[in-house]
């Protein structure tokens, strides 16, 4: 195989990678949101000022 030759990638493989990455991304977003709620609570901002 020539080093400049492009090897096709199975779309099922790419879908699997996408699914594997989706859950950690969701978990990270949830963790950040929860941390922001705790921070706002600690500094005493009313809930109407939260994002």
* pLDDT tens-digit readout, 33-50: 899 888 888 888 776 766
Query: Under a CB-based contact definition with an 8 Å cutoff, are residues 49 and 40 in contact?
Result: yes
% of residues, the chain, pLDDT over 70: 90
Instruction: Note the pLDDT of residue 24.
Output: 92
Taken as a whole, the chain contains a residue count of 51
Q: pTM of the predicted model, to two decimals?
A: 0.52
* pLDDT, position 8: 87
| Higher pLDDT among residues 7 and 50, named by residue | 7
Q: Is the pLDDT of residue 20 over 90?
A: yes
């Amino acid at each position: 195989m020539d080093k400049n030759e492009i090897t096709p990638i199975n779309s099922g493989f790419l879908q699997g990678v996408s699914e594997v990455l989706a859950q950690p991304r969701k978990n990270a977003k949830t963790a950040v949101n929860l941390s922001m709620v705790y921070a706002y609570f600690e500094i005493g901002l009313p809930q109407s000022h939260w994002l």
